[in-house]
């Protein structure tokens, strides 16, 4: 007989559970299963996670809740038995005052794993959703790198959700108070106000040209109550003791006397060693204090920096670390952002200055700090609440406590931003929101992107290495432009925009394959019923028809998953469209022989009805990404709006077709990039 006493001090920790593997406890490996004895400390929970094994839990002592990760929870106590299926996210929450002991046994069964994957239904869509994209800085127009990120992604998701009957609002702003605005103005001999006005209008025009359908763009300089709202936000934080006063070192330019932070200073990131501006590193995403930059340089030309001690107001992020960890665990995000959160967790003394002694921004109204302005990224936390309370959104969209929006479990808030802004969204904003109002509506999901390169190099305004959105979408079919940006979406890692590849793929897929599909359909309908706009009912089916119908079903399922907020992927959606257009072209080519022989008239009917259904489905699923093409395809089959219920009811029952020109994309024009700096055109 072997007896072993468990002590948490001697056990390893995994998923926030103290555990002893059964093989270790038994002193020998287990053949077909693995197991452990686990302890969840009082008042804590295991980290929510999923894995491919089937897992069986036996609760030995204590009480708590077992969370299956899909809104299903059940009370547990000594003697409770639970079977957790493959790929089901789960966790144990100890609600008692004593440690909770359990035994877990897990094993692999390939068939159970396949069944679990097959049984994973596409998650239910929310009843309403607010999508917020990071406000762009009006120190330049939007180039394709900007558009390929949050702005296109949020637009595509909005269009899809609307087609499913979800009530959606899509908002952004203009980041007026960024220090990059006056810096750009100074570089080109303009006032900051001139720069702001010029590029604000350029950005709005680019949204329109690219088909970005925004419900709200907050322009702080046009909103009379904006500054007062932001000031009241920080006044409340200060009065509640959330902000602390600290005297710390800061850099000033020896030549101009300018306070150096954010856009005004550059150096080497103290965390990852990459080149970085002040306040945050776009490479690793971590914040810096400016004075900790290695080899710092002023952007005002002076080689000498002066270091002075000054008082500023700070947000002690480290005080909220326990809340942040829980927030990170329960908010959907990609692996790179998860890594950033893990890195932030290690900074247990992190404090971020929320006031700065500079001239551009919203003046502080807090006593003793009237000569400073609020940090623009801290301002943004309040700006998002301000957006939600605008008159056109009505009361139910406010993020504040007590509204229908904040209290509704099927109302989702999704933020779209570049990874380089990650620490603001995952740490700075949540801490400010907790300090302001603990019951505020927090984001349910983060949709992030990395950088898009141009011909293998990073977009650069100063070198003229950029393609401006307004120029590009004026000279190209907007649908094709949007499609290619999605196909090369930098959603999980850096990707590349190549003009040669853009032109080749556009010609091959849209001016080539798609046009041939439309031409074949027109020809075959004329051969079957000359001059008719009425489609025949399906007749006899052959093996190829059944196989293509199965392809159509898989196409629809894949597109649904690609557009769904919980699995959202522009890259997946665009690639699925490529595959399906190829499949539709191949099917169309193979069907031509049915129309050359009178004996196959019944099968020809099925061929036409199948292809009509495929084109209607294509019109529906292409609409979020290529809205004009989707609208025209659906209109050709007398579908007046992009609505799933209507489209689904028409499957294999399409009656009318108004001929679509097979030269639909023949007006495609290639774009030639000119090396120019749009900023000089102020």
Give, in words, the CATH class of 8-118: mainly beta
Q: Pairing mode, if any, of strands 495-497 and 452-454? A: parallel
Q: What is the pLDDT of residues 85-128, one digit of tens each?
A: 888 888 999 989 999 999 998 888 777 667 766 656 677 888 89
> With a cut of 50, which residues of the chain have pLDDT below it?
1-5, 25-28, 668, 671, 675-682
- Residue 680 has a pLDDT of 29
* DSSP symbols for 371-396: TSEE-HHHHHHHHHHHHHTSGGG-GG
- Residue 51 has a pLDDT of 84
- Residue 23 has a pLDDT of 53
Q: How does DSSP classify residue 354?
A: -
**Edge to edge, what strands does the sheet with 452-454 contain?**
457-458, 452-454, 495-497
Beta strands in 85-241 (DSSP E): 91-94, 100-107, 128-133, 167-173, 216-218
CA-CA-CA-CA torsion for 52, 56, 60, 65, nearest 10 degrees? 70
Residue 393 CA to residue 215 CA, distance in Å, equals: 9
- Residue 22 has a pLDDT of 54
Residue 468, SS3 per DSSP: strand
Closest by CA to 75, choosing from 64, 61, 88, 89, is 64
- Residue 681 has a pLDDT of 31
> Where do the domains of the chain lie?
8-118, 128-243+317-350+354-472, 500-649
Residue 489, SS3 per DSSP: coil
Residue 481 CA to residue 629 CA, distance in Å, equals: 12
> Residue 78 to residues 39, 65, 100, 498: CA-CA distances in angstroms?
13, 12, 9, 61
| Under 8 Å between Cβ of 682 and 194 | yes
| Under 8 Å between Cβ of 18 and 49 | no
| Neighbour tally for 321: CB within 10 Å | 16
Residue whose entry in the numeric block shows the structure tokens 């919980």: 566
Please, which residues bridge with residue 569 across strands? none
Mark out the alpha helices in 43-189 (DSSP H runs): 110-118, 144-146, 152-163, 180-187
CATH of domain 500-649: 1.10.730.10
Closest by CA to 389, choosing from 444, 441, 331, 446, is 441
* DSSP symbols for 616-679: HHHHHHHTTTSHHHHHHHHHHTT--S--HHHHHHTTT---B-PPPPTTTTTT----------GG
Give, in words, the CATH class of 128-243+317-350+354-472: alpha beta
Count of CA atoms in the C-beta half-sphere (13 A) of 593 = 3
- Residue 405 has a pLDDT of 66
> Residue 116 to residues 33, 53, 283, 402, 562: CA-CA distances in angstroms?
19, 10, 38, 39, 19
| Neighbour tally for 117: CB within 10 Å | 11
Residue 566 CA to residue 606 CA, distance in Å, equals: 36
| Under 8 Å between Cβ of 682 and 644 | no
């Amino acid at each position: 007989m072997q007896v072993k006493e468990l002590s948490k001090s001697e056990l390893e920790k995994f998923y926030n559970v103290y555990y002893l593997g059964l093989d270790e406890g038994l002193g020998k490996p287990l053949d077909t299963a693995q197991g452990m004895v686990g302890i969840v400390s009082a008042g804590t929970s295991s980290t929510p996670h999923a894995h491919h094994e089937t897992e069986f839990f036996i609760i030995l002592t204590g009480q708590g809740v077992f969370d299956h990760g899909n809104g299903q929870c059940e009370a547990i106590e000594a003697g409770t038995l639970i079977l957790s299926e493959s790929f089901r996210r789960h966790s144990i929450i100890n609600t008692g005052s004593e440690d909770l002991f359990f035994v877990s046994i897990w094993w692999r069964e390939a068939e159970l794993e396949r069944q679990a994957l097959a049984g994973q239904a596409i998650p239910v869509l929310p009843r309403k959703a607010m999508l917020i994209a990071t406000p762009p800085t009006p120190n330049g127009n939007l180039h394709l790198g900007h558009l390929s990120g949050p702005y296109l992604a949020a637009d595509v998701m909005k269009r899809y959700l609307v087609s499913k009957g979800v009530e959606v609002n899509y908002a952004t702003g203009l980041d007026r108070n960024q220090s990059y605005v006056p810096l750009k103005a100074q570089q080109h001999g303009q006032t900051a106000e001139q720069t702001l006005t010029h590029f604000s209008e350029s950005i709005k025009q680019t949204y329109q040209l690219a088909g970005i359908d925004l419900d709200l763009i907050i322009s702080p300089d046009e909103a009379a109550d904006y500054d007062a709202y932001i000031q009241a936000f920080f006044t409340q934080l200060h009065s509640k003791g959330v902000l602390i006063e600290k005297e710390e070192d800061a850099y000033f330019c020896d030549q101009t006397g300018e306070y150096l932070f954010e856009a005004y200073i550059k150096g080497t990131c103290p965390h990852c060693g990459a080149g970085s501006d002040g306040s945050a590193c776009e490479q690793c995403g971590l914040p810096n204090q400016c004075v900790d930059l290695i080899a710092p340089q002023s952007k005002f030309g002076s080689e000498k920096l002066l270091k002075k001690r000054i008082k500023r107001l700070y947000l002690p992020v480290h005080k909220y670390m326990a809340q942040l960890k829980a927030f990170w665990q329960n908010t959907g995000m990609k692996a790179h952002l998860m890594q950033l959160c893990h890195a932030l967790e290690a900074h247990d003394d992190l404090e971020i200055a929320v006031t700065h002694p500079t001239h551009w921004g919203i003046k502080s109204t807090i006593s003793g700090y009237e000569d400073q302005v609020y940090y623009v990224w801290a301002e943004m936390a309040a700006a998002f609440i301000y957006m939600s309370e605008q008159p056109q959104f009505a009361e139910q969209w406010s993020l504040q406590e007590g509204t229908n929006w904040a209290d509704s479990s099927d109302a989702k808030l999704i933020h779209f931003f570049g990874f380089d802004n990650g620490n603001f969204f995952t740490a700075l904003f949540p801490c400010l929101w907790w300090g302001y109002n603990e019951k505020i509506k927090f984001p349910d999901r983060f949709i992030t992107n990395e950088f898009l390169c141009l011909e293998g190099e990073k977009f650069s305004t100063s070198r003229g290495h950029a393609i401006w959105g307004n120029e590009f979408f004026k000279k190209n079919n907007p649908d094709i432009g949007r499609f290619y940006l999605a196909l090369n979406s930098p959603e999980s890692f850096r990707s590349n925009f190549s003009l040669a590849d853009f032109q080749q793929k556009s010609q091959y897929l849209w001016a080539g394959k798609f046009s041939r599909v439309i031409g074949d359909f027109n020809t075959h309908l004329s051969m079957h019923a000359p001059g008719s706009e009425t489609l025949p009912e399906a007749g006899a089916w052959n093996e190829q028809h059944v196989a293509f119908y199965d392809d159509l079903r898989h196409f629809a399922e894949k597109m649904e998953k690609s557009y769904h907020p919980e699995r959202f992927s522009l890259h997946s959606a665009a690639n699925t469209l490529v595959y399906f257009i190829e499949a539709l072209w191949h099917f169309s080519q193979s069907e031509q022989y049915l129309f050359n022989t009178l004996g196959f008239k019944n099968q020809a009917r099925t061929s036409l009805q199948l292809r009509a259904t495929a084109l209607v489905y294509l019109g529906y699923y292409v609409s979020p990404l290529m809205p004009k093409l989707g609208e025209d395809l659906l209109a050709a089959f007398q579908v007046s709006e992009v609505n799933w219920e209507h489209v689904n009811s028409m499957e294999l029952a399409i009656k009318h077709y108004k001929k679509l020109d097979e030269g639909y994309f023949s007006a495609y024009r290639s774009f030639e990039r000119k090396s120019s700096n749009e900023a000089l055109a102020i």
